[in-house]
Amino acid sequence: MSEEDQEILNRQREKRKRVHRMKMAIISFFFIYLMASIVTMVMLTLKCVSLQKQIDTIADSLKTDGSAEATESSVEAENGDVLIMDKASVEANLATETDTLKVYLTFDDGPSKNTNAILDILDDYNVKATFFVCGKTSEEDKASLQRIVNEGHTIGMHSYTHKYSTIYSSLDAFKNDFSLIENLIYDTTGVEPKYYRFPGGSSNKASNTDMSEYIRFLNDSGIKYFDWNVSSGDATTQAYSADELVENVMKDVVKYKTSVVLLHDADDKTETVKALPKMIEELQAKGALILPISDDTTLIQHVTLSEDNNN
Ligand code: ZN
């Protein structure tokens, strides 16, 4: 082989090597690009899941009791052997024409800017109601708690934080929240509260844990919990007018001997305040007794512990 041939051969080898290196570079580039895309996709998916969880948590804490009651009549206890819907007591509570209707107006979520207006109206009609209050600690709020008690209304607990994700996270968290609201009411008014309304009701679906634990805790503590069987609709996403709130209540109270009516005492529930005089007048025109919750009140509970029911 001449030197010239050798030179040509070397150049050809060099060229093949360069082509090979370029091929490898292109393949490596596409491989890295593909891997980076996959990693980015996985990270975005994880981020989406985490954001959805945060949205759920925020939505939980914003929920009020009324949002749970929309499906209330069709709720089945998840843990059927422990929590039951007591159909017999619902049937026993159905009114006949001759029954005198007992109506318990209950206001959740207060105190609020509207508490005084509600109390003024109740006072005008000399009607007593029930307030399931939360942990509000300003001087105005404490004065409202005191006024509720002074004017002969029943004061009950509706959790301290009203944050579903907190109070229903564990039995310890529930007990802790319970002590806070119990102490606030006692320290402010001197009344030992005996009644509880679960945020979202006892049949709420916001709790990830079994509601039976919390119900058992209340039962063991001698605390009665009250749900509702008549909803004004003042906490549903549909914004009812004052007249519609009255209609919602009047349509249902005639069905039951004992009606526990769900209303809200919150800053933005001005229609509820507006509805109240007409609601009271129409109830009284029907001959209904408007009463505050007491130990004599027929329990209205969405779910109960089956073991208690058998006793
Ligand atoms: Zn509430």
The predicted pLDDT at position 57 comes to: 55
Band of pLDDT at residue 79, cut at 50, 70 and 90: very low
CA 145 – ligand 1 centroid, Å:
16
The predicted pLDDT at position 65 comes to: 55
CA 130 – ligand 1 centroid, Å:
13
The predicted pLDDT at position 82 comes to: 72
**Judging by DSSP bridges, how do beta strands 102-108 and 258-264 pair with one another?**
parallel
CA 290 – ligand 1 centroid, Å:
22
Q: How far apart are CA 282 and CA 103, in angstroms?
A: 12
Percent above pLDDT 70 for the chain: 89
The predicted pLDDT at position 205 comes to: 80
The predicted pLDDT at position 49 comes to: 87
Q: How far apart are CA 162 and CA 184, in angstroms?
A: 14
On the 0-12 / 13-18 / 19+ scale of CB atoms within 10 A, 85 is buried
Ion ligand 1 contact residues with beta carbon within 5 A: 64-65, 108-109, 199
CA 133 – ligand 1 centroid, Å:
8
More confident residue, 22 or 52: 22
Using the predicted structure, report yes or no on whether residue 73 has a pLDDT greater than 50. no
CA 288 – ligand 1 centroid, Å:
26
The predicted pLDDT at position 236 comes to: 87
CA 157 – ligand 1 centroid, Å:
10
Mean pLDDT in residue range 27-51:
92
Using the predicted structure, report yes or no on whether residue 93 has a pLDDT greater than 80. yes
From the list 235, 241, 238, 212, the residue with the least C-alpha distance to 225 is 212
Cβ neighbour number for residue 121 with a 10 Å cutoff: 18
The predicted pLDDT at position 58 comes to: 54
Band of pLDDT at residue 238, cut at 50, 70 and 90: confident
Question: What distance, in Å, lies between the first and last C-alpha atoms of the chain?
Answer: 110
Using the predicted structure, report yes or no on whether residue 309 has a pLDDT greater than 80. no
CA 37 – ligand 1 centroid, Å:
46
Mean pLDDT in residue range 60-81:
44
The predicted pLDDT at position 85 comes to: 87
Q: How far apart are CA 47 and CA 270, in angstroms?
A: 39
CA 4 – ligand 1 centroid, Å:
95
Bin 188: left if φ > 0, else alpha if -120 < ψ < 50, else beta: alpha
Distance of CA 225 to the CA centre of its chain: 15
* Stated pTM of the model: 0.76
More confident residue, 80 or 249: 249
**Any idea which of 16-25, 43-52, 65-74, 84-93 has the lowest mean pLDDT?**
65-74
The predicted pLDDT at position 254 comes to: 96
As a dihedral over the C-alpha atoms of residue 95, residue 299, residue 262, residue 137, rounded to 10 degrees, the angle is 160
CA 252 – ligand 1 centroid, Å:
21
Q: How far apart are CA 195 and CA 183, in angstroms?
A: 14
The predicted pLDDT at position 59 comes to: 59
Which DSSP state fits 138?
Answer: S
The predicted pLDDT at position 292 comes to: 98
**Judging by DSSP bridges, how do beta strands 304-305 and 83-84 pair with one another?**
antiparallel
Band of pLDDT at residue 50, cut at 50, 70 and 90: confident
SS3 of 4, please?
helix
CA 49 – ligand 1 centroid, Å:
28
Q: Output the average pLDDT for the chain.
A: 90
CA 134 – ligand 1 centroid, Å:
8
Using the predicted structure, report yes or no on whether residue 69 has a pLDDT greater than 70. no
More confident residue, 65 or 185: 185
The predicted pLDDT at position 209 comes to: 67
From the list 121, 160, 134, 152, the residue with the least C-alpha distance to 242 is 121
Band of pLDDT at residue 287, cut at 50, 70 and 90: very high
Using the predicted structure, report yes or no on whether residue 67 has a pLDDT greater than 70. no
CA 108 – ligand 1 centroid, Å:
5
Q: How far apart are CA 207 and CA 158, in angstroms?
A: 15
Using the predicted structure, report yes or no on whether residue 121 has a pLDDT greater than 80. yes
CA 41 – ligand 1 centroid, Å:
40
Using the predicted structure, report yes or no on whether residue 304 has a pLDDT greater than 80. yes
On the 0-12 / 13-18 / 19+ scale of CB atoms within 10 A, 224 is middle
DSSP H or E segment with residue 230: strand 230-231
CA 267 – ligand 1 centroid, Å:
13
